Amino acid sequence: MSEYLLDVRNLKTYFPIKGGLMRRTIGHVHAVEDVSFKLKPRQVFALVGESGCGKSTTGKSILRLIDPTAGQVIFDGQDIAALPQEEVRLLRRDMQFIFQNPYSSLNPRMNVWQLLSEPLKTHFNLPEWEMHKRVEAMLDKIGFTPDQLHRYPHQFSGGQKQRISIARALITGPRFVVADEPVSALDVSIQAQILNLLVQLQQDMALSMVFISHDLNVVRFISSEVAVMYLGSIMETGPTQDIYAQPRHPYSRALLSAVPSLDPQRKKVRHALQGEVPNPANPPTGCPFHPRCAYATDLCRRQRPALTEQFGRMLACHHPLED
C-alpha cells in the first residue's frame, strides 16, 4: 500500500484556441505543463505562484472539474484521469473542492439547509432525521446555530458565506480537499478566522489538502510542503520552512523577496524580476523562466530542466542557487 493518498504524475491541461471562419483549433494555451507532486494522508500541500500561473487549473484538473489533456492523477490507487465520468462522480464524496468566491459559488435560491443537505442526498441514501443530524453537527463545527438553518446566502456576511461553502464541501466526510484561494475574496480581518477554522477542521477530520494561494504568508501558516509554480510548471517543491528559509530556484527567491516583512527593523533584499510573463499560448523553449532569469545560459534556452532532487528538495533548474 502506498504511503501517498494522492500522486500527480506529469499532469498537462491545454485549452484550444479557435480561429478562422470554421472555428478550427489553431493553437493551445498551455495552462498546466507537466506537473508532478505527491500528497500524504493528513498533509497540507500548497501551490503558490503569480496570478495566471496555473494553480487553480491544476486543482480543478486533479478533481476532474476540468478534464486534463494528459498525465495521471492517482487517488488511493485509482487513476482519476482515466476513469469515466460516472465513476469519478462516485468518488466525489471522498474528494471535494472549496471555491474561491462564496458570492458566486452558493446558489442564492437555496437556504443553508438545502445547500448542506443536497450533497448528502446526492451521495447517500439517508433518512430525513439522519440528514438533519449531520447538517446540525456541521453547523456546530463552523460556528453556526440551528436558527440560521433556513436563512439564504444574501443574509450572511462574506466570511459567513465562506463558512457555508466549507461546510458544504466537508458535509460528505471527504478524505481529500482542494481549497482554491479560500480567503482571498475576504477582508483581512476575516481571513485569520477562516484560516483557523480550516486548520481546525483539517485536524479534526484528518483531511489531506491541496491549498492554493498567492498569499505567501498564508501558505507559510497552513502548509507543511509547498510547490512554486510558474507558467504552468513546478519550479521548486519541498518542506515549506526549508524553501522559505533558503529558496534554491531564482523564481522562488524573487517571489519570496516580495513578501512584506512584519519587522520594520529588518531590511530585505528585493530580487525584482525583469520583463513580463511569457504568453502560455506560445511558451518559450527550454526553461519557461529563462527570459526573466539573471542566471540563464544557452543550456537554459535550449533544454527544459527536469524536476529532480537537489539540495534535499525537488528543483527544475540547471543552475540552482547555492547561497
pLDDT higher than threshold 70 for residue 263 = no
- Closest among 38, 46, 44, 35 to 74, alpha carbons compared: 38
At 322 the pLDDT is 86
* Across 250-265, average pLDDT: 81
Domain residue spans of the chain = 6-94+219-315
Q: What is the pTM of this model?
A: 0.92
What CA–CA distance (Å, rounded) separates 4 from 19? Answer: 42
At 257 the pLDDT is 87
pLDDT higher than threshold 70 for residue 264 = no
Residues, the chain: 323
- Second-level CATH architecture of 6-94+219-315: 3-Layer(aba) Sandwich (3.40)
- Closest among 75, 61, 72, 164 to 113, alpha carbons compared: 164
At 64 the pLDDT is 94
pLDDT higher than threshold 60 for residue 29 = yes
Encode pLDDT of 38-66 as tens digits: 999 999 999 999 888 999 999 999 999 99
Q: What percent of the chain has pLDDT over 70?
A: 97
- Closest among 248, 253, 257 to 319, alpha carbons compared: 248
The pLDDT confidence band at residue 12, using thresholds 50, 70 and 90, is very high
| Half-sphere exposure of residue 92: CA atoms within 13 angstroms, side-chain side | 20
Number of H helices, E strands in the chain: 11, 12
pLDDT higher than threshold 80 for residue 323 = no
At 1 the pLDDT is 57
Cβ(41)–Cβ(207) below 8 Å:
no
What CA–CA distance (Å, rounded) separates 46 from 37? Answer: 11
What CA–CA distance (Å, rounded) separates 21 from 34? Answer: 32
The pLDDT confidence band at residue 267, using thresholds 50, 70 and 90, is low
Amino acid making up residue 283: P
Encode pLDDT of 171-192 as tens digits: 999 999 999 999 987 888 899 9
Cell digits of residue 168: 458544504
